[in-house]
Chains A and B, each alone.
Chain A
């Protein structure tokens, strides 16, 4: 866990409103795992005041990548950063995906901007295991397949791929999903994660999800990002410190 000022290398627009930013940050790059996140301060002014959490989208050598859509003032400033200008990064934060489990096929399930952590996961898994990705979005303009391998797509409006949500698409392809061999990695809107949880429990799949929450600090002191635990109903888990990746069985969504 470090605080570093790192220079932007380049910012690429991959969709109408979606950007990938490459940042030179060896300290973070060499200490990160897929599923961990960064809490980034885009300016020293009081607006925006707080850092914003971003998934580590990818790591390549000394560079890290983040993916974001321009939602408010902070992401607007970020998108306009010129190469060489710096971003203030706190990270790497939280617990990433566990790749030490016994599985042969990684099944990635991403909804919308939930694709963000998977380029790095895909890279880390490399050729050691087979990967099947399921990518969903509201319409074809919301499908983010950047750096994804071997993917099927779904859209709510049927403008591309399977018509319906991404978990339905997953269910349609269940003949490919031998539960002895696969592990599911999910990230996306809460409604998607809920149905992924139901699906995984119904068919007894090993499934980890990356969750998100509003938060201030990102390292456990503000207590701003509670998530309900299934093990201990008297105490919340924190998305930032106990997560953001959880086994679906451990959290109530």
Chain B
């Protein structure tokens, strides 16, 4: 074992390493645990939870695009009550910080979900999804409205002392303005970015490939966009950033950290190689050794511009 310190702080939220698994790409942990030792990871973020169970969109929900994929799942989830009853017992067995992602259609629903989940000690932090592009009644409409985002944060802040991460939409002109609101209203960190709105057509039938018409673009196709958004926030707002967007290997992790991220989330890659995140931890350590870096956190915002 080397003496490299891989731990990172996202404000008051401490992780053993910067590798988090992104919401919507790990379910509630049980399937991915067959491939990966969850205890080695920095944190896992649950599938978005809503107050009531959501069925999600009809098929087709997924389309592959050049170096990426579109998804329009529609926040299918079990709802907070079943999550606490049926999913938490499995997650309790692990010593990995659990972040609950919350999605809602109204400010009141965000608050109620957080309030209900707050008393569960297994949950170490919340990630508020104000940016899902795939539901008609919520998500992105909040993510695009800076006042609504501010209101959600201040109201949710009032019902929890746990770290509050706001997952930001890239589908805005200036993401840093949203990050500033997060800071002003008492949020602890931002995660950037959620998926980009996109669509695809069948050229024979002239119909959209996705039932929902639009979906969220993820995968390596969006990495340069995500890096630019992380950098923009890093240069304008003093708030911890969790970088997300098309990370496929350890080099991408380093790149996001240089651009300003304190930690990162792996998403689409979990669908392709669920063993990759755990492997990256060792690879990050090797990078630190060969670059005489004692603490990986020194990489955060180390860009020379």
A residues within 8 Å of B by Cβ? 1, 3, 41, 46-51, 213-217, 219-228, 234-236
From the candidates A50, A214, A222, name the one contacting B25 in the complex (CB within 8 A).
Answer: A222
Q: Are A213 and B67 in contact (CB under 8 A)?
A: no
Rounded to whole angstroms, the CA-CA distance of A50 and B63 in the bound complex is: 10
Docked-complex contact A221 and B64, CB < 8 angstroms: no
Interface string of B32-61 (1 = CB under 8 A from A): 101100000000000100000101111111
CA distance A226 to B75 in the complex (A): 13
User: Is B76 in the interface zone, CB < 8 Å from A?
Assistant: yes
Known contacts A41-B272, A46-B220, A217-B271: does B62 contact A222 (CB below 8 Å)? yes
Q: Is the CB of A221 within 8 A of B219?
A: no
Contact B73 A224 (CB under 8 A): yes
* Selected A-B contacts with CB under 8 Å, 14 pairs: A3-B274, A46-B67, A46-B68, A47-B67, A51-B271, A214-B60, A214-B61, A214-B63, A222-B62, A223-B76, A224-B62, A224-B71, A228-B58, A236-B76
Among A51, A224, A227, A234, point to the contact of B272 (Cβ < 8 A).
A51
* Contact between chains at B271 and A222 (CB < 8 Å): yes
Let me know if A226 and B270 touch, CB within 8 A. Answer: no
Residue from B34, B59, B69, B274 whose CB has the most chain A CB atoms within 10 Å: B59
Closest CB in chain A relative to B285 CB, distance in Å: 22
Residues of A within 8 A of B25 (CB): 221-222
Beta-carbon nearest neighbor of A232 in chain B:
B55
CB-CB under 8 A for A50 and B53, given A226-B59, A227-B59, A236-B76? no
For residue A234, which residue of chain B has the nearest CB? Answer: B55
Q: A216-B271, A226-B56, A226-B76 are in contact. Are A49 and B71 (CB under 8 A)?
A: no
A225→B35 CA distance, assembly (Å): 21
Interface size on B, residues (CB 8 A): 38
Q: Mark B143-159, 1 if CB is under 8 A from A, else 0.
A: 00000000000000000
Q: For the complex, would chain A's binding face be called helix, strand, loop or mixed by DSSP majority? A: loop
Q: Which of B31, B61, B69, B275: most chain A Cβ within 10 A?
A: B61
Residues of B near A214 (CB, < 8 A) are 59-63
**In the bound complex, do residue B71 and residue A3 qualify as a contact, i.e. CB atoms below 8 Å apart?**
no
Residues on B with beta carbons closer than 8 Å to the beta carbon of A219: 31, 34, 274
A76 vs B31: C-alpha distance when bound (angstroms): 30
The smallest beta-carbon distance between A169 and chain B, in angstroms, is 28
User: Would you give the shortest CB distance from B221 to chain A, in whole angstroms?
Assistant: 8
Q: Are B270 and A217 in contact (CB under 8 A)?
A: yes
| Nearest CB of A to B185, in Å | 31
- Enumerate chain A residues within 8 angstroms of B220, measured Cβ to Cβ: 46, 49
**Does B272 lie within 8 Å of A49, measured CB to CB?**
yes
Minimum CB–CB distance for B74 against chain A, Å: 9
List 19 extra interface pairs beyond A49-B68, A215-B62, A222-B24, CB under 8 A.
A1-B34, A41-B273, A46-B220, A46-B248, A49-B64, A49-B69, A49-B272, A50-B69, A51-B272, A216-B272, A217-B272, A217-B274, A221-B27, A221-B271, A224-B73, A226-B57, A227-B59, A234-B53, A235-B55
Q: Is A235 touching B270 in the complex (CB atoms < 8 A)?
A: no
| B61 in complex: contacting residue of A50, A220, A224, A228, CB < 8 Å | A224
Q: Is the CB of A3 within 8 A of B67?
A: no
Q: Which residues of B contact A236 (CB under 8 A)?
A: 55-56, 76
Asked if A222 meets B71 with Cβ closer than 8 Å, knowing A41-B272, A234-B53, A236-B56, the reply is yes
User: How many angstroms from the CA of A221 to the CA of B25 in the assembled complex?
Assistant: 6
Give the Cβ gap from B3 to chain A, nearest Cβ, in Å.
Answer: 32
Contact A3 B35 (CB under 8 A): yes
Query: Which of A49, A223, A235 contacts B73, CB < 8 Å?
Result: A223
| B26 lies within 8 A of chain A by Cβ | yes
Which A residues lie within 8 Å of B71 (CB)? 216, 222, 224
CB-nearest residue of chain A to B248 = A46
Question: Nearest chain B CB to A41's CB is how many angstroms away?
Answer: 6
Q: Would you call A220 and B27 a contact (CB within 8 A)?
A: yes
Residues of B within 8 A of A50 (CB): 64, 69, 271-272
